Amino acid sequence: MSERTYLYLLRHGATDANQRRPYVLQGQGTDGPLSQAGRTQARRAAEALAHLPIHTVFASPLKRSRETAAIVAEPHGAQVRVVPEITEVDVGEWEAMSWNAVMERYPEQYRRFMSDPAVFPYAGGESYADVARRVVPALEAILREHDGHVAVVGHNVVNRVFLAHLLGVELRRARTLRQSNCGINVIRRKGDEIELITLNGVLHLESE
């Protein structure tokens, strides 16, 4: 195992689904590309990271993650590697629904989910604990197995559960950890110690 690793964990750039009002849920079942705004966000994130010696960028299998990763990797000539375990949460029957529609059609499941998403899953989908079981080992493996500087383009829930793990925040409260599109979290591993340095850095996006 190498002595030190810096991992830059991003949420993908915005998609049309992210920009819809009211907001609609976008899980594994929605696999559209970045919007024009999302591509701009990704370019700004790439510029913010361009001075760092990033040698590998990891992405989920979903287009919005892979497209963001390619933009981030370009200034470095870095390889993009797909990691299936960091794909977004499966929101099941709530895919492409607004929260208001979910409240109306699934009132009891919505209530349970909001009370503790670590225990109660999206209807027909995953809970936060399900996501954590695949995401935490995958991201910890990247930190252990790669030295220097790497980037990972994840998703809203994916990032939240890993950050909650690092911070010691109860998983049921992971929804309180904001993850902006193309916000940057900086995570450092030094020896066996993993530490969150920056949470959801967005200074590179403030001119939007």
Distance CA 184, CA 15 (A): 17
* Residues 96, 17 contacting (CB under 8 angstroms): yes
Instruction: Tell which wins on pLDDT, 172 or 206.
Output: 172
Q: Which of 49, 48, 56, 46 is nearest to 147 (CA)?
A: 56
Long-range CB pairs of 35-41, under 8 A, 24+ apart, other chains included: 37/13, 37/208, 38/12, 38/13, 38/14, 38/64, 38/67, 38/68, 38/181, 38/182, 39/13, 39/67, 39/71, 40/13, 40/208, 41/13, 41/14, 41/181, 41/182, 41/205, 41/208
Kindly state the average pLDDT of the residues 75-92.
Answer: 98
Q: What is the pLDDT of residues 130-174, one digit of tens each?
A: 999 999 999 999 999 999 999 999 999 999 999 999 999 999 999
Average pLDDT of every residue of the chain: 96
The first and second tokens of residue 11, run together, are 């949420």
Instruction: Decide if pLDDT at 207 tops 80.
Output: no
Total structural domains in the chain? 1
Predicted TM-score of the model (pTM): 0.96
Q: How confident is the model at residue 206 (pLDDT cuts 50, 70, 90)?
A: confident
* Residues 86, 155 contacting (CB under 8 angstroms): yes
CATH number, domain with residue 35: 3.40.50.1240
CA distance to 77, 137, 180, 185, per residue, from 203 (Å): 24, 30, 11, 12
Give the residue ranges of DSSP H helices in the chain: 16-19, 36-49, 63-73, 99-105, 107-115, 128-145, 156-167
pLDDT of residue 2: 60
Whether 12 is catalytic is yes
Instruction: Decide if pLDDT at 1 tops 60.
Output: no
Chain centroid to CA 173: how far? 16
Catalytic residue among 67, 76, 88, 146: 88
Distance CA 110, CA 130 (A): 17
Q: What is the pLDDT of residues 21-51, one digit of tens each?
A: 898 999 999 999 999 999 999 999 999 999 9
Q: Which domain holds residue 152?
A: 4-205
Q: Which of 72, 8, 61 is nearest to 38 (CA)?
A: 72
* Residues 65, 181 contacting (CB under 8 angstroms): no
Q: What is the pLDDT of residues 172-205, one digit of tens each?
A: 999 999 999 999 999 999 999 999 999 999 999 9
